[in-house]
Chain A
């Protein structure tokens, strides 16, 4: 290769390397701001600020959803399978909201450690399947077959 071109190529490579390091350090420093939500472990560990609008995200724990019969109030536990946080919300839930589904809630954490949400978004996971397959998997799990091929359970993140 021509020496001038070699020199130019080195400059280009240095530019790219320097830039990547700069961006990596910036995004690393800002990671808490880039994260869309706190997970339940962080909240129970006291990393999330109180009485500030934040987002909390995780799975709706199985069997934890309690609906008020008089109003639109809903209470449930949101979990990351290490810790769980109680969430309360008054309003209409998204269609995909269900036990075992991922959600992201926007609201404030109060001093009792309860998360008072004013908006609930459903988080979809990367798994897609036809309804018949989902039914078959559910039947298989109901009849007590524990080891299922594939992943009927949504991913944990």
Chain B
């Protein structure tokens, strides 16, 4: 079992294997996301209270869900970096942090656009919104810290510690709406309970979440490949790979 785990850490092995399923990730992701968003925006019934403005949920929920999901993946990779010193884990963290930053921003932005007509305000300092803003700053901090340290190994460790420290924010985001009084409503989707919306609303929502997940997988692969190529540019396999591409 450990042997497989260590093989996983080899950048060259990852470079080869990821290229094989990337087209599937992209195709599946685009298909699911398109289906979910088109169904949600055009065909799903409108809400009895909010009318059409609730439809931003089909963009807001996937981005907010992915923003937190990516951070949890980054934290797992950070443990691997700190304990096993595996290069690939660090490559992952660096490759996906900007993706997480953009998705967190989109979640906050779509939330504000929805909040104005629904609540009556763009922004309120409630626990959910504030903890999500902290997540945005954490992503920014991870990117900045990585850029600030030149040495690859010390950057990897410093970034891993920061990512791990920040992971305590994730349960706070998730449970903020239950632990404290907030303006933001509790989750409509729970693993253990029936969704609080009819299937013709939650099925497209689920499709767009899954679609965004797959597209994220593709983005992570392509960004990791770029990072690997630039890091390993002096090794023979990269030189051979580049030469093959030219001829």
Contact = CB atoms under 8 A, between A and B. Distances in A.
Interface in A120-143: 120-135
A19 B171 CA distance: 13
B230 interface: no
B54 to A, nearest CB: 6
Interface size on A, as a range, is 35 or more
A120 B121 CA distance: 10
Contact of B180 (A31, A95, A134): A31
A145 to B, nearest CB: 19
A113 interface: no
Interface residues of B, number: 42
Contacts of B42: none
Contacts of A95: 117
A110 to B, nearest CB: 22
Q: Which 8 A-B pairs have the closest CB atoms?
A: A130-B45, A134-B48, A94-B120, A128-B197, A36-B126, A131-B48, A35-B181, A126-B188
Given A1-B2, A36-B182, A128-B188, 17 more contacts: A8-B82, A9-B79, A27-B172, A36-B125, A94-B119, A101-B49, A119-B120, A121-B121, A121-B124, A122-B120, A127-B196, A128-B47, A128-B57, A130-B48, A130-B200, A130-B201, A155-B186
21 contacts: A9-B83, A23-B172, A36-B124, A36-B127, A36-B181, A39-B181, A94-B120, A124-B49, A124-B50, A124-B119, A125-B185, A128-B57, A128-B197, A128-B201, A129-B198, A130-B200, A131-B46, A132-B45, A133-B198, A134-B48, A157-B181
